[in-house]
Each structure stands twice: as C-alpha cells, then as structure tokens.
Amino acid sequence: MTERTLILVKPDAVERNLTGAILARFETKGYKLSALSSMEPSRETLAAHYAEHEGKPFYEPLLEFMSSGPIVAAVFEGERVIEGARTIMGPSDPTVAPAGTIRGDFGRDWGEKVQKNLVHGSDSVESAEREIAIWFA
Ligand code: RTP
Ligand code: MG
C-alpha cells in the first residue's frame, strides 16, 4: 500500500550542508518527494512532534537541539516508504549505525547529551499522518 512518511533533516545536518545529500538518498531509492519546507520550528511544534518522549531524560536536550537552527521538513511517498526510509536512515545511534546508512555514513557521537543523528523518519502509518499534520498544517 502506498504510504507517506515525514522526514526531518535535523539542525546538525543542515548546519553541515548535508541537506541535499540526505534528501538524495530517499529520492535515488525511488521514493517521491511530495512536500518540502525549510523552517525554524517553534517550541510548540517540537513539543507536539515529540509528545511521546515528554518526561524522558533526553527530552529537554532534544527540544533544545531541534531549536538550535533551521531544519528541513519533507514528505516522501511510496510503497512501504515508512520502513524503507528507516532502513536508509539506520539505527538511532550513529556510532553503531552501519556504513551505507545516513547515520552510519555521516554521524558520530559528539559527546553531547542528545544523539545528534541528522534525520528523523516516522515510525508507523499513524505517526506519519500525525506528524505530517503538524509540520504541513
Ligand atoms: P527519530 O524519532 O528522530 O526518527 O529517531 P528514533 O526513532 O531513532 O529515536 P527516538 O527513540 O524516537 O528518539 C527521538 C530522538 O531523540 C534523540 N535521542 N537522544 N539517549 C539519547 O541521547 C537520545 N535518545 C534519543 C535522538 O535525536 C532521536 O532521534
Ligand atoms: Mg522516533
């Protein structure tokens, strides 16, 4: 079934001029870019997006990190794109993410409280629809 997923190019990736290289990985895999926006998100937007993590130790560092500069929000479409995009991204921790994945190729541990891992991708159909409504209201 054709799905949509929300991809965020996080502030660390935008700062390092990796936006094009990251979006290209989803495009060259064959997924269709259907929405794209560059922005500096409000705290309200970030709190809505990360509501499931409220109260966790990394929550405040995460919101601070995500507010630290511009991000790029994108919607990609295709068959099983949610799972496919997460495969392309690799595991959350860039130190153990395999080479060939975005996080494995471009990421590392910078010794900070939050994992600066370059990219976000929705983890289910329900999350994707919820997140797309937040970022592309
Ligand atoms: P995402 O939601 O961004 O696609 O990443 P994910 O599913 O792989 O990771 P998740 O568990 O949903 O966590 C959201 C983001 O919070 C930061 N994080 N830092 N212990 C830590 O330092 C830690 N744990 C999570 C990461 O930026 C992660 O992507
Ligand atoms: Mg997640």
**φ, ψ for residue 121, nearest 5 deg:** -140, 140
Kind of pairing between the strands at 71-79 and 32-39: antiparallel
Q: Which of 117, 126, 127, 131 maximizes ligand 1 atoms within 8 Å of its Cβ, making it the mutation to test the pocket? A: 117
Question: What is the percent of the chain where pLDDT is above 70?
Answer: 100
Boundaries of every domain in the chain: 2-135
pLDDT on residue 1: 84
Give pLDDT tens digits for 78-134. 999 999 999 999 999 999 999 999 999 999 999 999 999 999 999 999 999 999 999
94 lines ligand 1 (CB under 6 A): no
Its pTM stands at: 0.97
The CATH class given to the 2-135 domain equals: alpha beta
